């Protein structure tokens, strides 16, 4: 399962779980809204960190036609150097 599939399943299941918990009276509707808002904020922060890594920028650049030129402009890390060297071959 890839990340898109996992997040899709989570997006389908979490609202059902929250609705069940509200129906049982364990939390209020506003409590469910607060939990949802907090979860969205945490997921957005995690996504932002993952999406803005040097390695992610490089893999995104590889899809572009000028991948080698873009790769040369990314600050080097060990993984970036490995991929850049593979592109040269």
pLDDT tens digit sequence for 60-72:
766 665 666 766 6
The pLDDT, as a whole number, for residue 24 is 93
Predicted TM-score of the model (pTM): 0.52
Are residues 43 and 57 both part of a single domain? Answer: no
Nearest alpha-carbon partner for 13 in 39, 38, 45, 44: 39
The pLDDT, as a whole number, for residue 71 is 64
The pLDDT, as a whole number, for residue 52 is 74
Are residues 61 and 30 both part of a single domain? Answer: no
Number of domains in the chain: 2
pLDDT tens sequence across 17-52 = 989 999 999 999 999 999 888 988 888 888 888 777
CA separation for the pair 55, 65 (Å, rounded): 18
Q: Does 7 have pLDDT greater than 90? A: no
Are residues 41 and 2 both part of a single domain? Answer: yes
Domain with 6, as residue range(s), is: 1-47
Establish how many alpha carbons lie within 13 A of residue 56's alpha carbon, considering only the half-sphere containing its beta carbon: 7
């Amino acid at each position: 399962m890839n990340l898109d599939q996992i997040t899709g399943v989570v997006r389908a299941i979490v609202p059902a779980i929250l609705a069940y918990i509200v129906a049982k009276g364990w939390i209020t509707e506003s409590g469910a809204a607060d939990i949802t808002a907090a979860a969205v904020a945490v997921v957005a922060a995690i996504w932002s960190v993952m999406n803005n890594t040097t390695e992610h920028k490089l893999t995104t650049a590889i899809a572009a036609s000028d991948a080698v030129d873009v790769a040369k402009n990314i600050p080097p890390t060990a993984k970036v150097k490995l991929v850049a060297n593979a592109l040269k071959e």
